[in-house]
Structure formats: C-alpha cells, structure tokens
Chain A
C-alpha cells in the first residue's frame, strides 16, 4: 500500500468529523472518494495530505508516518494535491506557476544569484507540463486572466509538475462545464501516465466521472466509510445508492 490511513478519528469539539476511517491506496490505482457534503471528505483529504492532525489514527505514505507533517515536507516526500477552490498565484504567468513547482522539486529555490531565465532544465520541464495540460499557448498569460476552467487546470498542473508519486485531487472537475469534464479527465490520466504518477486519489461528485475512471470507490458517509470496493460492487450496494440519491440515513451519533 502506497498510502494508508489507519483508524482516523477527528473531533472538532463535540462534533465528530471522522469516526474511525481506514483507507488504503495501492500503486497503480485510481481511487475516488465520494459522499455527500458534510460526510468528512475534505477533512479526510486534509488528514491524508498531512495538513490536518487527526485526533487519533495515523497516516502512512510509502511506509513512512506522515501524520500531520505539513504540506512542505509532504511535497518533498512525493505527494501533491490540488484544491477544491481554485488556488492560484494571480500575478504569475502560467509558465512561472509551473516553474515554481519545478524549482521546488529540483530544490533550486535557494539559488539566489542564478538566473532563472537561463535555467534550461526548469524551463523545459515547466513547458512540458504546460503542453500536457494544453496550456502551452497561454504560457505568458498571468494566472488571474485565465478563464475559470484553465485556472483549475493550472492548479492541477502545478501539482503534477512536482512529479509526485501520489496525487490527491480535490474535485478536479468542479466548475468545469459538463462538456469539458471528460476532456479534463483525459488530460489528467494521460499526464499521470507521462509523469509516472503511481496512484491518483480524487474527491468527486460527478458519478459518471467516478464510475468512468476509478479502479476503486470509497464512499464516505457521516464520518465513516460506508463502502470501499470496485465500481461494480458499489453500484450494487444499496446503502451507497441511497446515500448518493440522498435518502435519509441514520442520525449522526458522536464518536
């Protein structure tokens, strides 16, 4: 298992966001996490990416305990994420955004006197990612001037530019028109293949996307794992179907 969360519990005061959640992801898998709002998906993602310290439980990445280590160290270890709400560097151009990621990965950030413009390796790698995400023709455009969909792509692209082994995408197609969703997913999948990403985890609401791409689906409900299986098995799972359609579930108890 390349990424594993064991018995994660997260309490916010009295409120139980996650109640004993255990998930695992193997190399080569595309895993989708689904669930209604308030199910604990964002909390789980934040715990998995080391940003949030759980009340109990531990997270392991490549066998290493990464519980709460923070985004910087996590990125160095080889895991990246994109954000649900588009998070950009408004004044930086597309190319510059990707260069930041590449510079970070190549650990060249502390080079105070080297010329960035003359760093061919950084330029080439940034351009390559831009091309993978069909943003190359916009590479000199400041991020804030991009259309919303491209901003999202850029956000995801910058995470990819870190060449992580595992990538976590928080609603990668939210805000993207239905027509473009497939296009985005295709870009993501082919980019992953090119870069050599070993596992993709996504949080997604669009069931077509979820069923179309996932090797495995984890359904989260009221802080607990409702189901964790293949798309076929999930489709047959009545509880999950009810949850997705929105029939009333049990009342949320405390952990």
Chain B
C-alpha cells in the first residue's frame, strides 16, 4: 500500500520535474515579455528529438553509454539556438495586441510540428535501453530507476539555480525589474531588446532541456509538443502567471495529481487537471503565487 503510494508519488515528482522546466521557461517569457508562448511545447518536443539524435550520434561515435546523459543535456541545451530565431519573429509583434502575439506563437507551433516530422519522421524515436543503464533503486518496496532520481535532482538544482540567479545576479535583477516595469527599466538604461533575446533564449533552453531529459523514459513522438502545452498551461495557471515559485508549485500539483489520477481512475487523468484549472481561474485567478492584478 505504502509502496504503491510512493511509486505513484515518485513518478509524479519525476513528471513534475520535467513540467517545471518547461513551465519555468514559459513563466520567464510571460513575466518579462507578457507573451504566452504556445510554442514552448514545440521546444520541448524539439529538445526531445534532438536529444535522441545527439545521444545516438555520440554513442555511435564512441561515447561510453553511461555518459549518454551528458550527450542528452548537451543536445538539449544546444538546440535552444532556435530561441533567438523565434524571438526575432516575435519581435514583429511586440507592440501589438496580445491576440496577435498569441496567434504568432501558434503559427510557430504549426510550423514546428511539421519541421519535426520532416527532420525526424513520424515514427517514435527513443534512446532504447539507456533508460535503465544506471540501474534501479529498491527501497521501502519501491522500485525507481536511478535516472528518474537524477532528473528530479536536476530539476531541484535548476530550480535553486534559477532562484539564485533571479535574486542575486545582475541579470536576475534586470529580469525582475523588467517584469515589474518595462518602461522604467528602459528609462534606467536597460537595453530591453537584448534582455528580451536573452530571456526568450533562456526560456527556450529550459523547454528543450525538459524535452531532452524526459526522453529516456518515453519515446519522442510527434504529438508530444501540443499535448504538453496544455499541461504546461495548467501548471502556470495553478501556480500563477509569471511566477517562478508558481512554476514549481504548479508543476508539483499537476505532476502528482496526474500520477494519482492515472493510478486510481485513468479516465480522469487530464480531466481532473482541467477542472482544477477552471476552478483556479474562477476562484483565484492569480493562482498560488501570481500577481494580484489580473
């Protein structure tokens, strides 16, 4: 009984770690640029596919298999290079109504869907047996792949890193200032254009990294991007738009709840999440940690 609960919890936390990464990217971009980037799911998918390719290529070229995770992470980070490209596109609509910004990110979603298909085909691709290469841990009747624990640890580490960056570094201060008051930051000499590129790229990187890290546990599939965006969306609504802590809290809520739902009543899976999203939007639109004004 306890073992089962722990299994569910751990699988939920693993999923939450991935969700956190994608949501953090979403929050960063929304907080500073006020754009809800529908394409974050596409970046996630891109990171997944590229991660698989990187691992395949590098292990084929002689990288020892236990080091595959390095290749994965490297691939995930490298492909964030699409970030500045997409940002350049979005730059056209910075001064326009939200509606158009949202629609432009939707255009990116559409294009990315096919780009992924063109480059990687439609069959699911995976890293094969590398998932369990680090073995599994058995404790308290629970069996969990070490890989999952690594990812969870990575998620925590990145969360701490993000927190530190936002609170202590100059760049973090600029981000917080820009999120709070764009005009004043500009007036104080901050080069917003550069900040936007950096923020967007960082946001993209978090998404691609999330996609890369999830790969060993599942296969890269063509719908993974557009499926994930709704989960990420649920995370930021529950956590609160624009808040990093919200991304973490929201990810945990969604990740664990989903795991619980799958193990108790599978039909409920996402249904429960959407009901909660609606409830949050109705009773507490700012979510757990969001800003007060809607």
Direct contact of A and B (CB under 8 A): no
